[in-house]
Amino acid sequence: MEDMMKGNHVFAEAAIRAGARFYAGYPITPSTEIMEYLSTRMDEVGGVFIQAESEQSSMNILVGAAASGVRCFTASSSVGMTLKQEAISHLADENLPYLAINVVRYGNGLGTLLSGQSDYHRDTRGGGSGDYRHFVFSPYSLPEAVELISHAFDLGDKYGMGAILHTEASLGQMMEPCGFPEMKTVERRPGCIDGTFSKERISPLYRDRYAEALEMKERYDRARENEQMWKSENIEDAEYVLLAYGLAGRSVIGAVEQLREEGHKVGYIRPITLWPYPEKAFEEVNPNVKGFISVEENATGQMVDDIALTLKKSELREKPVYCLAYAYGVPPMKKIKADFIKIKNGEMKEVY
């Protein structure tokens, strides 16, 4: 049976159902309701809840939890995620899985309390020092968020990698019918810290960094090849393909449906994994396509770069790439349709 639940509560409950039993975080709007929910819920399932003194502390606490082999997660928003980057880099250095839920709010620095998609570059590239990757998932609905959270934990264990659920303020605050799977029981990962000393694991003096780098690249390449996720429709005959993720993806789906009814040959690709970016989706696109259009909830255009990079490696490399950047908030279908007509009429210049 499905219940009407707020997005932030859905994210928290989905993590518990996926077997997570350790949460450390720090309050920040618009993600604080995740922490509030877990402050009582985690105790009910025999887990551990910690409100740390800062974003940095909460992420560093996760280093210990992940090293102990338990499924652990945190949540924050934009500027709070920036403060977590050093610890995220340390987790990557030790091949430790975790989940970080980013309920994105728009803006630079402290930003605003408005919904947006302005953290794409940082979340997909890794904001800490070093040479690492982590999975990045972007749900366009609350039921999809439930599925992706469980999948993120599973992939993290499989590859020894962290994962970010890249959501947005509007998704965290909205309500829609949502169901949950049965509670999953997850054993502690083998080979984790057990209270005994191992100088090879702990001290950098006893590590072969070159061998580790080769193994890391092989693991990331395997993830890039096998774990791409997306949804697409009407791209086989499309003259223009629109791309958007998250709630902007919902608007694009509706806009494409209406434009098709009005006689325009358009299709869409909705990336679900932002890393690895779904490059394989482009293999199904009409080779005679006239252009690609990135629809984003930021001011400068960010995902548009990955579209252009993907095309650079394909037979579609000469196709123009446009960007409809709407700064913040979920773009309405009416606006997307009007701007598409401007692109089709040559009134907007391509970015690439």
Banded model confidence at residue 4, pLDDT cuts 50, 70, 90: very high
- Coil/strand/helix, residue 86: helix
Residues 42/170/147/133 CA torsion (nearest 10 deg): -90
- Provide the angle, in degrees to the nearest 10, between the axes of the packed helices 246-261 and 333-344: 60
Query: Two tokens at 98?
Result: 């975790």
- Report pLDDT digits (tens) over 254-304: 999 999 999 999 999 999 999 999 999 999 999 999 999 999 999 999 999
Query: Two tokens at 184?
Result: 């999953």
Rounded mean pLDDT of 8-34? 98
For residues 257 and 336, what is the distance between their CA atoms, to the nearest angstrom? Answer: 12
Banded model confidence at residue 201, pLDDT cuts 50, 70, 90: low
* Model confidence, pTM: 0.95
Instruction: Look over the chain and give the mean of its residue pLDDT values, rounded to a whole number.
Output: 95
Return all residues near 296 (Cβ < 8 A) that are at least 6 apart. Answer: 117, 120, 244, 248, 302, 303, 304, 323, 324, 325, 326
Q: What is the pLDDT of residue 207?
A: 77
Q: Is the pLDDT of residue 313 over 80?
A: yes
Number of alpha carbons in the 13 Å side-chain half-sphere of residue 56: 3
Q: Order of strands across the sheet with 230-233?
A: 230-233, 266-271, 240-243, 291-296, 321-325
Phi first, then psi: give them for residue 246, nearest 5 degrees.
60, -145
Phi first, then psi: give them for residue 95, nearest 5 degrees.
60, 45
- Coil/strand/helix, residue 129: coil
Q: Which domains does the chain have, with CATH numbers?
A: 3-226 (3.40.50.970), 230-344 (3.40.50.920)
Query: Two tokens at 236?
Result: 């086989």
The secondary element (H helix, E strand) that includes residue 343 is helix 333-344
**DSSP per position, 173-225:** H-EEEE--PPPPP-PPPTTS--S---HHHH-GGG--HHHHHHHHHHHHHHHHH
- Report pLDDT digits (tens) over 132-190: 999 999 999 999 999 999 999 999 999 999 999 999 999 999 999 999 999 999 999 98
